[in-house]
Structure 1
C-alpha cells in the first residue's frame, strides 16, 4: 500500500498531466491539416523533445529511467503507440464531444482490467458506475450511427481500451513508464510517414501541432504514465475526466462546435457518474490510508 506522501505525489502528477492534455484536441484542430500529416508532425516532435529531455536528465543527474524497461515496457509502448493512431483518426471522424466523452470510459476499462488481471475486485459502487457509463457510451455511439460518426466513435472506444490496458500493465509491473509512453510515438510516426507519401503533406498552421508535440505531449504523457507507480489504475484514469469536461469547452469557444443532444445526454451520464465515483473512490482511499493498523492479538 502506498504511503500518503507517495499517493499525493501520484495525484499531483496525474492532475498536471490531465490538465495539460485538455488542450491537445484544440491544438490539433487549430493546425488544420490532413490527419496523417498531423500524426507525423505530432509524433516526430514528441520523439525529438523526449530524447532531448532524457539525454539532458542523464547528463545532469545520471539516474534517468530506462526509455523502455524490458518486455513489459515494449508492450506498454505498443499500446500507447496504437492508442495514438486511433486517437488522431477519431479526431477526424467524430465530434470532439463524442471523442472525449467516450475516452472517459477508460476509467471503467481500467477497473475491469484490474479486476481480471490484478484481482482487484471492484466494489458494488464501481460495478454500478460501470453499468451507468455503458448506458452513456451506448447513447453516444448509437447517435453516431445516425450522424455518420460511428467509425470515429468506435475508434474512440478502441483508444480508451488501449490506454486503460497500458495503465493497468504499468500498475501491475510497478516500473517507471514515464518515457515509455513518449518514445511509443515511434510506431505512429512510422505509420504516418508511410501514409503521408501516399496522401501528401498538408497542414495550414504547423506551429500549433509542433508546440503540441514538443511541449504538451511530453508533459501530459510523462505525468499520466508515471502516475500508476503511486496510485491505482482507476485513479489515474479518472484524471482523463479533465479532458472530457474541458476539451469540448475549448472547442466550443474556438470553433463554435455544439454537441448533439444525444451526445450531451450520454456525456452528462458519463461525467456525473465519473465525478460521483471518483469522489467516492478518493474518500475510500483516504479512509484506508488513515485507518490505524491493528497489532496482532
Structure 2
C-alpha cells in the first residue's frame, strides 16, 4: 500500500465512523455542558491511556509534537465546543451541511499557508458552496437557528485550520484532537460548577460513553493522521460521508426532516462536492498516466524535475 493509499484508507474509515457522532449525541439525551464534558473528557482519557500503552511498549509517539501540536490540539478543542453547541442549537442536517464547507476553508488556507494554489474547478466549487451555505444560514435567520449555524461554520473553519497545520508540519497529530478536549472539559467544568444553564443531566449516559470513548477517538485519530499522507483538501472531501449519512441516520431514528431551503442548500453542496471529487480523480488518473509514459520513455516529468531542483 502506497502512502497516498494509506492516507485515503485511514481518512475514509475515520469519516465513516464520524457519521454516527450526531445521532449518538442525540440518543444520549443530555444537556449541553454535561455532554461537552463527558464527550471530550472520555476522548482525552482514551488518548492518555493509548499513549501510556505505547510508552510501555517502548514505541516512541509524541502526545503533542511541539508548539505546532499544542496549536493544533487547541484548534480541535475549540472546534469540539463549537460543534456540540451547533448540535444543540440547530437541525442536524444544517450542522453537517455547513461542516462540509471545511473543504473550502481547507483550500483557502492551503493556498495562503502552504502555497497550494487551488485549481479553477476548485474555485468554482468554492463559489457554489458559499451560495449554498448562504441559503441555509438565511433560512436559519427565519427559523431562529442562526446561532447553531454560525457555530457549525466556525467549527468547519477550525477543523480546516487544524488540518492545514498538520499538513504544514508533517508531524504525527493522531492524539491532537483528543488532547484538545481539555478545553471543552475545563469550560464545561466551570459552567457546571457555577450552575449555569444547560448544566443539569444526561438521560442515557451509555450512548455518550460510546461516543466519547470509541467513536470520537477512533474517527479523529484517523482524520488527524490522514494529512501526513494526502492533501488537506482531500481529507476535507471525506467529510462528505457525514454530510450525506448523518441526516439519514437522524431522520431514521428521530424523524427530523430538514427545511426545504436547508435541503436545497444541502443538495447543492453535495452535488458540488461530488462533481469536484470526480474531477480530482480524473485529473489524478491523467497525471499518473503521463508519469508512467514518461518513465517508460526514459523521460522525467517536468513537475518531478522542478521538485528535484528545489530539493537540491
Deviates more, 1:196-205 or 1:21-30: 196-205
Establish whether residue 17 from structure 1 lines up as the match of residue 14 from structure 2.
Answer: yes
Residue pair 2:54, 2:61 contacting (<8 A) in 1 also: no
Establish whether residue 171 from structure 1 lines up as the match of residue 167 from structure 2.
Answer: yes
Corresponding residue to 2:154 among 158, 176, 181: 158
Question: d(CA) in 1 for partners of 2:23 and 2:269?
Answer: 21
1:99-114 counterparts in 2 under 5 A?
Answer: 99-114=95-110
Residue pair 1:28, 1:209 contacting (<8 A) in 2 also: yes
The Cα shift of 1:182 comes to 1.3
Q: Deviation string for 1:65-100 (max 9, x for gaps)?
A: 211101111110110000000000000111000000
Question: d(CA) in 2 for partners of 1:286 and 1:58?
Answer: 41
Which residue matches 2:242? 243
Establish whether residue 38 from structure 1 lines up as the match of residue 35 from structure 2.
Answer: yes
Corresponding residue to 2:112 among 106, 113, 116: 116
Question: d(CA) in 2 for partners of 1:127 and 1:145?
Answer: 27
Which residue matches 2:225? 226
Establish whether residue 29 from structure 1 lines up as the match of residue 26 from structure 2.
Answer: yes
Question: d(CA) in 2 for partners of 1:51 and 1:241?
Answer: 30
Q: What TM-score do you get using the length of structure 1 for normalisation? A: 0.96
1:179-194 counterparts in 2 under 5 A?
Answer: 179-194=175-190
Question: d(CA) in 2 for partners of 1:190 and 1:30?
Answer: 24
Aligned CA RMSD, in angstroms, stands at 1.4
Establish whether residue 51 from structure 1 lines up as the match of residue 48 from structure 2.
Answer: yes
Establish whether residue 147 from structure 1 lines up as the match of residue 168 from structure 2.
Answer: no
The Cα shift of 1:56 comes to 1.4
Question: d(CA) in 2 for partners of 1:115 and 1:213?
Answer: 33
Q: 1:22 to 1:33 in 2, by over 3 A?
A: same
Question: d(CA) in 1 for partners of 2:53 and 2:107?
Answer: 36
Question: d(CA) in 2 for partners of 1:152 and 1:289?
Answer: 43
Establish whether residue 126 from structure 1 lines up as the match of residue 122 from structure 2.
Answer: yes
Q: What TM-score do you get using the length of structure 2 for normalisation? A: 0.91
Question: d(CA) in 1 for partners of 2:72 and 2:104?
Answer: 19
Question: d(CA) in 1 for partners of 2:60 and 2:288?
Answer: 30
Establish whether residue 280 from structure 1 lines up as the match of residue 300 from structure 2.
Answer: no
Establish whether residue 8 from structure 1 lines up as the match of residue 10 from structure 2.
Answer: no
Establish whether residue 262 from structure 1 lines up as the match of residue 261 from structure 2.
Answer: yes
Matched position secondary structure for 1:120: coil
Q: How many aligned positions are there? A: 293
Question: d(CA) in 1 for partners of 2:75 and 2:148?
Answer: 19
Please say which structure displays the higher CA radius of gyration: 2
The Cα shift of 1:49 comes to 1.3
The runs of 4+ residues in structure 1 deviating greater than 6 Å are none
Which residue matches 1:66? 62
Q: Deviation string for 1:195-238 (max 9, x for gaps)?
A: 11223431100110011000001110000000000000000001
Question: d(CA) in 2 for partners of 1:67 and 1:182?
Answer: 10
Residue pair 1:54, 1:64 contacting (<8 A) in 2 also: no
The Cα shift of 1:116 comes to 1.0
Question: d(CA) in 2 for partners of 1:47 and 1:183?
Answer: 5
Q: Deviation string for 1:179-204 (max 9, x for gaps)?
A: 11211101111111111122343110
Question: d(CA) in 2 for partners of 1:195 and 1:107?
Answer: 33
The Cα shift of 1:278 comes to 1.4
